[in-house]
Amino acid sequence: MPTRFSFLASRLSQTVLVLWVVATLLFLIFRLMPGNPLVAYIDPNFTAEVQQALLRQFGLDQPLHVQYAVFLSNLVRGEFGRSFFSREPVSQVMWQVLPNTLVLTLSALLLAYAVGVVGGALLAARRGTWAEAWGIPAVLATRAAPEFWVGMLALALFSFTLNWFPSSGATSPGSAYSTWWAQVASWDFLRHLTLPALTLALYLQGLPTLLMRSTMLEVMDEDFITFCRMRGLPERTILLRHAARNALLPVVTAFALGIGYSIGGNVIIETVFSWPGLGRTLVRAVAAKDYPVAQAAFFLIAVVMIVMNFVADLLYSLLDPRVSHERQ
């Protein structure tokens, strides 16, 4: 349909514009920070000539607008350069840690939202009872409790006391798998994934639970629910079939946005559980002024967030026929 197509086109161009602004800001922040940008790369034994040669090689002796042009052209081609720290291509650095982060984030989010949706619906159904009176503070507490504290407690209990789960890494020491998929499907990997994913899920489920509960309460007030009751449908069917499905819409979009938020922000979980992910890599890159990796990681996070934002909008318009992006 022409109007939907033009909606897509306009959103796409908006996305590109936002990405360009983000890229420019990233460029400026790193270039304008005080200090020698190559400090992490150059060691004191380098002579002045070698340092100059390196500055030239990285283009850091060029005027800012020339650097900017080079930066943009590289960005468009997906060329992020080489890490100052490990000297390997940035894309390789990211590929080594990004899959681990994706697995952790997605599994935690799926678990959190599954539990949150059910929990939220139940809380809405039990309005005014003691379950609600205890439930809401409990959910708020999980959200307020610091992730590292919960993580350390989980380690102390499930790993060090009960010995049910290992305490660090994504796989057992010295283990090797033929492909990454073989590793992810292995029992060993799942055992290592459990504690960090559970800790993260505990933190994340607060949002979908309370969101689901409040939208459910709104939906339960609507006319069609009253009509269902008049028809004599069992409460359970009303709850699950009619109310919950409608209340799910904001939660679905929150899920899409949640992926965007979580993609780079798990550094605490990754540090507590020694999970080899993107968050730790990013923090280390910023601290060590490893510009290429830091830039690429920030840009990746921005891309994911903006794309997921777009996806959330699309989902909403797909799921709810009342919402339309077409011009009236």
Partner 1 sequence: MIRILVRIAVAVVVLTLTAGAVAVGQTQDRRVRELILLTRPQAVDPQEFEMARLLAPEFEKLGLKVTVRVMPWEQLADYVWYSRDKWDMTMWQMVGRAERSDPDEFTFNLFHASTAEKGYNFVGYINSTYNGIAEAQRIKTDLKVRRQLIFEAQKIIARDVPYVFLVFPQSSYAYNNTVWDPKSVVEQKGIGLKNFWTFDAATPRGTQKDFVLNTADPVQAINPLFISGSTDSWITELIWDRLLRVGPDGLPRPWAAEKVEWVDSVTLDVTLRRGMKFHDGHPVTADDVIFSFTAPMGDEVPMYKPFVRVIDKIEKRSDTVIRFTLKDPYAPFLTSSLAKVNIIPKHIWEPVLADLAKKPENAESYQEQVPVGSGPYKFVQWKKAEEVVLEANPDHFAAPKARRWVLRIIPNVEAALGGLRNGELNFLSVYGGDPQILDQLAKQTPSITVVSTMDIGMRFLAFNLRRPPYDDLAVRQALNMAANKKAIRSVVFKGYATVADSFVSPALEYWHNAEVPKLNYNIKAARDVLAKAGYEWDADGRLLYPKGKVETLVGK
Q: Which residues pair with 89 in a beta bridge?
A: 82
Choose between 84 and 113: whose C-beta lies nearer to partner 1: 84
In the structure encoding, which two tokens stand for residue 255, read together?
């899920």
Phi then psi for residue 82, to 5 deg, are -115, 145
Q: Does 96 bind partner 1 (CB under 8 A)?
A: yes
Q: Does 67 bind partner 1 (CB under 8 A)?
A: no
Q: State how far the Cα of 93 lies from the Cα of 218, in Å rounded to an integer.
A: 47
> Which of 24, 86, 129, 324 forms a contact with partner 1 (CB under 8 A)?
86
Helix 291-319 to helix 278-287 angle, to the nearest 10 degrees?
A: 140
Q: Does 144 bind partner 1 (CB under 8 A)?
A: no
* Least distance to partner 1, CB of residue 97, Å: 6
> Which of 74, 167, 309, 317 forms a contact with partner 1 (CB under 8 A)?
167
> Which of 32, 45, 128, 321 forms a contact with partner 1 (CB under 8 A)?
45
* Least distance to partner 1, CB of residue 160, Å: 4
Query: What amino acid occupies position 308?
Result: M
Count of residues of this chain found to bind partner 1 when the rule CB under 8 A is applied: 49
The residue range among 50-58, 109-117, 207-215, 234-242 that interacts with partner 1, by the rule CB under 8 A, is 50-58
In the structure encoding, which two tokens stand for residue 137, read together?
């503070």
> Which of 108, 276, 296, 308 forms a contact with partner 1 (CB under 8 A)?
276
User: Quick one: which of 228, 293, 253 has its CA closest to 82?
Assistant: 293
Q: Does 271 bind partner 1 (CB under 8 A)?
A: yes
Choose between 24 and 175: whose C-beta lies nearer to partner 1: 175
> Which of 62, 91, 168, 317 forms a contact with partner 1 (CB under 8 A)?
168
The residue range among 4-12, 43-51, 199-207, 320-328 that interacts with partner 1, by the rule CB under 8 A, is 43-51
* Least distance to partner 1, CB of residue 44, Å: 5
Does residue 133 contact residue 126 with C-beta atoms inside 8 Å? no
The residue range among 9-17, 63-71, 78-86, 313-321 that interacts with partner 1, by the rule CB under 8 A, is 78-86
* Least distance to partner 1, CB of residue 265, Å: 17
Q: Does 190 bind partner 1 (CB under 8 A)?
A: no
Q: Does 40 bind partner 1 (CB under 8 A)?
A: yes
- 66, with CB counted inside 10 A (0-12, 13-18, 19+), is exposed
Q: Does 131 bind partner 1 (CB under 8 A)?
A: no
Q: State how far the Cα of 262 lies from the Cα of 132, in Å rounded to an integer.
A: 28
In the structure encoding, which two tokens stand for residue 131, read together?
């379950």
- 161, with CB counted inside 10 A (0-12, 13-18, 19+), is exposed
In the structure encoding, which two tokens stand for residue 99, read together?
């899959």
The residue range among 90-98, 111-119, 205-213, 299-307 that interacts with partner 1, by the rule CB under 8 A, is 90-98
Please name the helix (run of DSSP H) or strand (run of DSSP E) that holds residue 276, with its range, or none.
none
Does residue 305 contact residue 19 with C-beta atoms inside 8 Å? no
Helix 291-319 to helix 2-32 angle, to the nearest 10 degrees?
A: 160
Does residue 266 contact residue 105 with C-beta atoms inside 8 Å? yes
Q: Does 70 bind partner 1 (CB under 8 A)?
A: no
Q: Does 163 bind partner 1 (CB under 8 A)?
A: yes
Q: State how far the Cα of 134 lies from the Cα of 240, in Å rounded to an integer.
A: 23
**Interface residues with partner 1 (CB under 8 A)?**
35-36, 39-40, 43-47, 50, 53-54, 56-57, 82, 85-88, 93, 96-97, 152, 155-156, 159-160, 163, 166-171, 173-174, 176, 271-274, 276-277, 280-281, 284, 287-289
